[in-house]
């Protein structure tokens, strides 16, 4: 089989020919030949119109060069259908349709984000990996389940590469900024910057403004670059680890242009090593935007009969990875074994927990992948906050474990063992109401839980306990309160067979006991990105 792929979602005009006996597995004699032309803006970031102009000129050239490498007839034309810049996508779409018609072969529409992660799965031969996409306009953690890639966690604001690029633009460096951050970080020392993980999601806007401010205030740019890498990549690594723990999987693949960064790969490798998981990152030519990944996934789709009629081949600049009906993979049913198999043991992502009949001892273990200063700070702060917020919530009438002992130096808490089961395993409408009421209470007092999933609620015969306040913090921002409700909502959706009644109960109870403006903010969050 011989498939040509065409890529041009933003900066890279690229065409590639993939030749293989069998596109379902990586074989020794398969070849992927890539021809690319990069667009580099004279100043500032990527200008959509200039980028489109680049595509208009460069796509025919790279397609011509790629076809020269083909040893025989082409079986299908695959193209990046989205997401990306509309004007660029339209040019790529037009070129792909024209080529498919000229060669009289089928057309395959590939999702660029899914291509970023499938190339890693293909090259590694992993069966069921968790996938971290660290690219310019995106950042998410995904895992396949039941016909789709599910987004387990993602950025609440910009993509990771774009965040770095914005900082370097502020400093006056040319686009793309990511490689320059990596270069300058080599001479840097650690300085404190924000670190924001909310449930399984993360946000870059706070850390980026703090980085700009630090630079403006005279902190050496090398130090800012170093700390930016340490914090931003530790956030991605932490969420990737949480996703591995949640889904009980032991393979991780990396995709996207930021994956070229050696420090990010090092952190992910160390995290995986520490938990006995396998890690794979493809070589750089498959990480940054390239048509090789489009050709490889295109061939898998073509093999599965997943082709597009010309009249239905419109591009989609907001094409989300979880919209793609996955036709080229075998059915499995193992996204979250923890969701499916009640009572499975979970390898915690953060703490070593020993559970006795009366007491639970929880120790936050060091994470080798994190910079020691950041690691110290996170483990200390989370231990202190968990103890403080657990006790404070109790004072306001929310059932939580009694904190018997806090050893900040050892990052260890000794807590009362509460409840008979996790809410996940014994989910009722009245308990969901309890949780909503408890959240309204703590929000009223000015703090959030930070991770109120159905696994962080324990249920007993007559009480519903909130546990695990380690990601909690004080805040008076309605957005933060709404994030608590959002995390609960996502978790109920992932746990319950028929979540609608439970969600309605949650809202009704929160409306009665909390601030209705928070529910408006929840709607606003749900209107963004994947929650639509």
| Residues of the shown chain interacting with ligand TXA in the complex, contacts defined by CB under 6 A | 9-10, 83-84, 112, 116, 135-138, 159, 161-162, 164-165, 176-179, 181-182, 256-258, 260-261, 288-289
Minimum Å gap between C-beta 407 and ligand TXA is 38
433 binds, among Fe ion, ligand TXA, none (CB under 5 to 8 A by kind): none
Does 289 participate in binding Fe ion (rule CB under 5 A)? yes
247 binds, among Fe ion, ligand TXA, none (CB under 5 to 8 A by kind): none
Q: Which of 377, 403, 384 is nearest to 467 (CA)?
A: 403
Nearer to ligand TXA (CB atom), residue 282 or residue 499: 282
321 binds, among ligand TXA, Fe ion, none (CB under 5 to 8 A by kind): none
Under a CB-based contact definition with an 8 Å cutoff, are residues 322 and 529 in contact?
no
Alpha carbons within 13 angstroms on the beta-carbon side of residue 292 total 23
Nearer to ligand TXA (CB atom), residue 86 or residue 348: 86
Indicate the SS3 state at residue 35: strand
- Please, which of residues 137-166 interact with Fe ion by CB under 5 A? none
Under a CB-based contact definition with an 8 Å cutoff, are residues 81 and 107 in contact?
no
5 binds, among Fe ion, ligand TXA, none (CB under 5 to 8 A by kind): none
CA pair distance 112, 84, nearest whole angstrom: 8
Cis peptide leading into residue 176 (ω within 30°): yes
- For the annotated binding site for Fe cation, the residues are 112, 116, 289
Reported residue count of the chain is 532
- For the annotated binding site, the residues are 112, 116, 133-137, 165, 178, 182, 261, 289, 345-353, 362
Active site residues: 451
Q: How many beta carbons lie within 10 A of that of residue 514, not counting itself? A: 20
118 contacts: CB under 8 Å, gap ≥ 6: 293, 296, 297, 300
Contact region with Fe ion (CB under 5 A), list: 48-56, 133-141, 168-176, 238-246: 133-141
Does 14 participate in binding Fe ion (rule CB under 5 A)? no
CA pair distance 151, 261, nearest whole angstrom: 23
308 binds, among ligand TXA, Fe ion, none (CB under 5 to 8 A by kind): none
Nearer to ligand TXA (CB atom), residue 2 or residue 116: 116
Indicate the SS3 state at residue 522: helix
Nearer to ligand TXA (CB atom), residue 181 or residue 277: 181
Q: Which of 230, 276, 246 is nearest to 490 (CA)?
A: 246
Minimum Å gap between C-beta 109 and ligand TXA is 15
Minimum Å gap between C-beta 157 and ligand TXA is 14
Q: Which of 479, 478, 477, 481 is nearest to 448 (CA)?
A: 481
Minimum Å gap between C-beta 263 and ligand TXA is 8
Q: Which of 497, 501, 503, 509 is nearest to 531 (CA)?
A: 503
Backbone angles phi, psi at 87, to 5 degrees: -60, -35
- For the annotated binding site for L-threonylcarbamoyladenylate, the residues are 133-137, 165, 178, 182, 261
Torsion of CA 65, 71, 72, 73, to 10 degrees: -30
Beta bridge partners of 198: 201
Nearer to ligand TXA (CB atom), residue 84 or residue 470: 84
Do the bridges between strand 447-448 and strand 403-407 make them parallel or antiparallel, or are there none, so unpaired?
unpaired
- Token pair of 161 as six digits: 């590469």
Minimum Å gap between C-beta 260 and ligand TXA is 4
Backbone angles phi, psi at 413, to 5 degrees: -120, 140
Nearer to Fe ion (CB atom), residue 260 or residue 521: 260
Minimum Å gap between C-beta 509 and ligand TXA is 39
Nearer to ligand TXA (CB atom), residue 292 or residue 399: 292
238 binds, among ligand TXA, Fe ion, none (CB under 5 to 8 A by kind): none
300 binds, among ligand TXA, Fe ion, none (CB under 5 to 8 A by kind): none
Q: How many beta carbons lie within 10 A of that of residue 28, not counting itself? A: 4
Under a CB-based contact definition with an 8 Å cutoff, are residues 62 and 37 in contact?
yes
**Strand spans (E) along 161-292:** 197-198, 201-202, 251-255, 278-280
Contact region with Fe ion (CB under 5 A), list: 46-54, 232-240, 289-297, 476-484: 289-297
CA pair distance 261, 245, nearest whole angstrom: 24
Minimum Å gap between C-beta 284 and ligand TXA is 8
242 binds, among ligand TXA, Fe ion, none (CB under 5 to 8 A by kind): none
Minimum Å gap between C-beta 403 and Fe ion is 46
- For the annotated binding site for ATP, the residues are 345-353, 362
Query: Number of residues in contact with Fe ion, rule: CB under 5 A?
Result: 2
Minimum Å gap between C-beta 394 and ligand TXA is 44
For Fe ion, the binding residue among 20, 33, 135, 229 (CB under 5 A) is 135
Nearer to ligand TXA (CB atom), residue 261 or residue 390: 261
Cis peptide leading into residue 318 (ω within 30°): no
CA pair distance 241, 313, nearest whole angstrom: 37
452 binds, among ligand TXA, Fe ion, none (CB under 5 to 8 A by kind): none
Q: Report helix, strand and coil shares of the chain as percent, to nearest 5.
A: 45, 20, 35
Nearer to ligand TXA (CB atom), residue 113 or residue 487: 113
Contact region with Fe ion (CB under 5 A), list: 132-140, 175-183, 332-340, 488-496: 132-140
Under a CB-based contact definition with an 8 Å cutoff, are residues 181 and 167 in contact?
yes
User: What is the number of the residue whose Cβ is closest to Fe ion?
Assistant: 135
Where does this chain bind Fe ion (CB under 5 A)? Answer: 135, 289
């Amino acid at each position: 089989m011989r498939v040509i792929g065409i890529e041009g979602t933003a900066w890279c005009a690229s065409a590639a020919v993939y030749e293989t006996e069998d596109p379902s597995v990586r074989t020794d004699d398969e070849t992927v030949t890539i021809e690319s032309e990069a667009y580099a803006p004279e100043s500032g970031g990527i200008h959509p119109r200039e980028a489109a102009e680049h595509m208009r000129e460069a796509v025919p050239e790279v397609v011509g060069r790629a076809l020269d490498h083909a040893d025989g007839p082409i079986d299908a034309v695959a193209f990046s259908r989205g997401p990306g810049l509309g004007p660029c996508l339209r040019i790529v779409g037009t070129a792909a349709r024209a080529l498919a018609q000229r060669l009289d072969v089928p057309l395959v529409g590939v999702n660029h984000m899914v291509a970023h992660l499938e190339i890693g799965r293909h090259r590694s031969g992993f069966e069921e990996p968790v996938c971290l996409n660290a690219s310019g306009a995106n950042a998410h953690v995904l895992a396949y389940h039941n016909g789709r890639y599910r987004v387990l966690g993602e950025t609440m604001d910009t993509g990771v590469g774009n965040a770095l690029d914005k900082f370097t633009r502020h400093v006056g460096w040319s686009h793309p900024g990511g490689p320059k951050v990596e270069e300058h970080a080599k001479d840097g020392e650690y300085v404190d910057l924000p670190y924001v993980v909310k449930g399984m999601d993360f946000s870059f806007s706070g850390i980026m403004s703090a980085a700009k401010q630090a630079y403006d205030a005279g902190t050496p740019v090398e130090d800012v670059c170093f700390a930016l890498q340490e914090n931003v990549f530790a956030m991605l690594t932490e969420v990737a680890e949480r996703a591995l723990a949640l889904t009980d999987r032991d393979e991780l693949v990396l995709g996207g242009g930021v994956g070229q960064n050696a420090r990010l790969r090092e952190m992910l490798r160390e995290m995986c090593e520490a938990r006995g998981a396998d890690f794979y990152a493809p070589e750089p030519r498959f990480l940054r935007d390239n048509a090789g990944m489009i050709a490889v996934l295109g061939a898998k789709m073509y093999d599965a009969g997943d082709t597009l009629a010309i009249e239905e081949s419109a591009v989609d600049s907001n094409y989300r990875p979880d919209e793609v009906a996955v036709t080229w993979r075998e059915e499995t049913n193992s996204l979250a074994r923890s969701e499916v198999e009640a009572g499975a043991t979970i390898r915690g992502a953060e703490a070593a927990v020993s559970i006795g009949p009366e007491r639970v001892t929880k120790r936050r273990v060091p994470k080798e992948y994190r910079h020691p200063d950041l690691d110290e700070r996170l483990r200390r702060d989370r231990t202190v906050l968990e103890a403080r917020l657990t006790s404070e919530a109790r004072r306001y009438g929310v059932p939580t474990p009694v904190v018997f002992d806090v050893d900040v130096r050892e990052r260890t808490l000794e807590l009362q063992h509460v409840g008979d089961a996790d809410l996940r395993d014994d989910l009722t409408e009245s308990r969901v109401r309890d949780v909503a009421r408890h959240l309204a209470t703590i929000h009223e007092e000015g703090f959030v839980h930070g991770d109120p999933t159905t696994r962080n609620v324990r249920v007993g015969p007559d009480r519903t306990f909130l546990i695990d306040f380690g990601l909690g913090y004080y805040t008076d921002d309605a957005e933060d309160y709404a994030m608590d409700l959002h995390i609960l909502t996502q978790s109920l959706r992932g746990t319950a067979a028929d979540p609608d009644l439970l969600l309605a109960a949650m809202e009704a109870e929160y409306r009665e006991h909390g601030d209705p403006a928070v529910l408006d903010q929840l709607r606003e969050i749900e209107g963004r990105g994947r929650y639509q």
